[in-house]
Amino acid sequence: MGKIHIMDEFLSNKIAAGEVVERPTSVVKELVENAIDAGSTAIEVLLEEAGLMSIQVIDNGSGMDEDDALISFQRHATSKINNEHDLFRIRTLGFRGEALASIASVSKLTLSTSNGEHGVEVTLEGGHVVSKRPGPLRKGTDITVAQLFYNTPARLKYMKTIQTELGHTIDLMNRLALCYPQIAFKLVHHDHELLKTNGRGDLRQVLAAIYGVANAKKMVHFEGETADYKVTGYATIPEITRASKNYMSIFVNGRWVRHYTVQKAIIEAYHTYLPIGRFPIAVLHIEGDPFLTDVNVHPSKQQIRLSKEGDLMKIIEESLHKAVRVSMQAPEIMKKPKKQPAQTAQINFWQGLDYQQTAVEQFGDKPRPKTIEPQTILEAPQQPRYELNELDEKGFSEPETWEQIRERENHHAPVEQLQEVSDGEMSQPEVTTELQTVKEPFPMVEIIGQIHGTYIIAQSEDGFYLIDQHAAQERIKYEFFKDRVGEVNAGERQALLLPLTFHYSADESLQLIEHMAELNEVGVFLEEFGQHSFIVREHPTWFPKGMEQEIIEELIEQVLTVRKTDIKKLREAAAIMMSCKKSIKANHYLDKRQMERLLVDLKKCVNPFTCPHGRPVVVHFRTYEIEKMFKRVM
């Protein structure tokens, strides 16, 4: 007799469960996705001990009759696909037919379901049917999974704490609610309501339920379309960031997926708007022909392949960048609201949306303070002064006074911000102008002085502003250099009396020879000079004076480190590096003329509110908040 034999069905189901059912969250995911595929409009999930003790999922979907209920627990039983052609046009969340069989094989499961005409209740233990009887005729399905992994104790050893497992389930339910705002979701753990949505189809209200009303009001809508894909979503303005990429939710044809390239496109849309290591909150919906997506990659169905990926990434980056660009403004300093208890914060969020009296409205009937002239001018300590002449002769117009700017730009109106409306929903301003003409004007301010040789103080009728002088000049120089890197004309080159010499190893020399063309495009004109040596005979005239060799060395080092040159990124790196090298540092005192010139140049920038590294340039302290801190208003 041979050694090879067919495995027992129940043993094969347990093996399959190792891929499909990793933790309680996996069970919730499969059961809730089945409920969504069944056309449910309300889904309730009840947990005990984060699901290790009990998971109950109740829906009002189409339900099943007795025959379907029994066959559904057999492996590869599905109603989602009929032939191999359907595999390339999958429109449902489930299609493998493995979930129920795998879950039942490692738990004690009770199924009560009805299609409105016939009801049945089936009980299984370890995948074996132990009882079957008529059930209630309420249309829909009620599944209870008890004692998960009771017959696979080795799996229980690798479960995390109750809080960790519960956190995974909360994250999953939040994403499903964001994907299907038209479905009313409810998540309860030991009688504590952790999530509740009303299923009205308003994604903004779901965002408010999950991330809070304050954050939801600071999210902008974006959309774009190609011949094959349509993208829509919401993302936070650069003022609201998180330290993890986990707050970016990506949905493709109604399926939550993890996709590194799409995630990268979202981050690229915020280029120079976010500090290093900070990420936005974003919800992105991608719709396209199912033929262009391959979801049959992994049993978890969270990894997919996309066709025409380049076009999709481009429209995501462009549409989101445009929305974020229009929304840019100086961040405001406001007192943080008190945190609500976890179990009530999400229940009461509807009340927050109906709140009508904002801080500005409370202050609206009071006279605004007039702009005042400073009574005393404080002399700065004797410190080395910094002349703002680096860019004076390089493309900027003659200095203007604030009075001239005010007259020239009186017709500009600030971009509208999200306003609360009477029906409890947040309106989104319609942007009808092209991106290059829509711009949040830099606030018209009166310069008061400087503190610590680092921050410029200015005031307006709306309060006062702190401007980081180093970040401000970084932004000015970055936009100056960004326009010139890659367009090095013959007339913008300066010959060196003594060429600069650089020596590298044999391996590094081969890399540099291979990437000489890319280096030329950013102003590094290398020539071979003997064995493993190179010289530079000229450089662009706009390289910061005295730092030419350091800039060239750093650009070469970047090419050697990355080994795969992206000319666009290399140009960006060159512009950022040169803008940072000789910008004003801390403890450099400026006179009023220099401060005015700095703000005039800053006002001309496309984005005057963040430096190239994403740090804020301007911070706004509102008059109302100041008076509130001093108890002048209630």
Burial class (CB in 10 A: 0-12, 13-18, 19+), 554: middle
* Site of tokens 């013959």: 490
* Site of tokens 């020596």: 503
Q: Kindly state whether residues 105 and 207 are assigned to the same domain.
A: no
- Single-letter code of the amino acid located at 273: Y
Which tokens is 564 given?
């795969």
Q: Kindly state whether residues 253 and 303 are assigned to the same domain.
A: yes
Residue 536 covered by a domain? no
- Per-residue pLDDT band at 230 (split at 50, 70, 90): very high
Distances (CA, A) of 368 to 377, 403, 447: 24, 21, 19
Single residue among 196, 230, 262 that ends a domain in this structure: 196
CATH of the domain at 82: 3.30.565.10
> Mean pLDDT across the stretch 112-138?
90
- Single-letter code of the amino acid located at 239: E
Strands (E), 463-585: 463-468, 493-503, 526-528, 533-540
> Mean pLDDT across the stretch 606-622?
87
- Per-residue pLDDT band at 320 (split at 50, 70, 90): very high
Q: Kindly state whether residues 191 and 207 are assigned to the same domain.
A: no
Q: Kindly state whether residues 38 and 115 are assigned to the same domain.
A: yes
Distance CA 588, CA 380 (A): 10
Q: Kindly state whether residues 170 and 72 are assigned to the same domain.
A: yes
Q: Kindly state whether residues 35 and 50 are assigned to the same domain.
A: yes
Between 497 and 77, name the one with better pLDDT: 497
Q: Kindly state whether residues 191 and 262 are assigned to the same domain.
A: no
Single residue among 196, 220, 250 that ends a domain in this structure: 196
Is residue 502 helix, strand or coil? strand
Beta bridge partners of 146: 54, 108
Q: Kindly state whether residues 85 and 139 are assigned to the same domain.
A: yes
Single residue among 327, 360, 392 that ends a domain in this structure: 327
> Mean pLDDT across the stretch 498-518?
81
How many degrees, rounded to 5, is the angle at CA 582 between CA 527 and CA 481?
Answer: 60
Whether residue 337 contacts residue 292, with contact meaning beta carbons closer than 8 Å, is answered with: no
- Tens-place pLDDT, residues 327-375: 877 676 655 555 444 433 333 333 333 333 333 333 334 444 443 343 3
Residue 485 covered by a domain? no
Side-chain-facing half-sphere of 262: CA atoms under 13 Å = 23
- Per-residue pLDDT band at 248 (split at 50, 70, 90): very high
Q: What is the CA radius of gyration of the chain?
A: 31
Domain ranges, residue 142: 9-196
Which tokens is 165 given?
């497992």
CATH of the domain at 293: 3.30.230.10
* Site of tokens 């090879």: 4
Q: Kindly state whether residues 130 and 21 are assigned to the same domain.
A: yes
> Mean pLDDT across the stretch 540-567?
74
Residue 89 covered by a domain? yes
Residue 289 covered by a domain? yes
Burial class (CB in 10 A: 0-12, 13-18, 19+), 560: middle
Q: What percent of the chain has pLDDT over 70?
A: 73
Distance CA 442, CA 617 (A): 11
* Site of tokens 């350091």: 550
Residue 244 covered by a domain? yes
pLDDT value for 18: 52
- Tens-place pLDDT, residues 51-89: 999 999 999 999 998 888 888 888 777 766 656 665 566
Residue 266 covered by a domain? yes
* Site of tokens 């309680």: 24
Q: Kindly state whether residues 131 and 229 are assigned to the same domain.
A: no
- Tens-place pLDDT, residues 401-438: 555 555 554 444 333 333 333 333 433 333 333 333 33
Q: Kindly state whether residues 267 and 167 are assigned to the same domain.
A: no
Is residue 390 helix, strand or coil? coil
- Assess whether pLDDT exceeds 80 at residue 558: no
- Kindly report whether the global pTM for this prediction surpasses the value 0.85: no
Q: Which of 496, 512, 492 is nearest to 504 (CA)?
A: 512
> Mean pLDDT across the stretch 115-140?
90
Q: Kindly state whether residues 145 and 215 are assigned to the same domain.
A: no
- Per-residue pLDDT band at 494 (split at 50, 70, 90): confident
Distance CA 342, CA 287 (A): 34
- What SS3 string covers 143-203? EEEECCCCCCHHHHCCCCCHHHHHHHHHHHHHHHHHHCCCCEEEEEECCEEEEECCCCCCH
Which tokens is 170 given?
């909360």
* Site of tokens 């989101």: 320
Domain count, the chain: 2
Distance CA 209, CA 345 (A): 8
Residue 524 covered by a domain? no
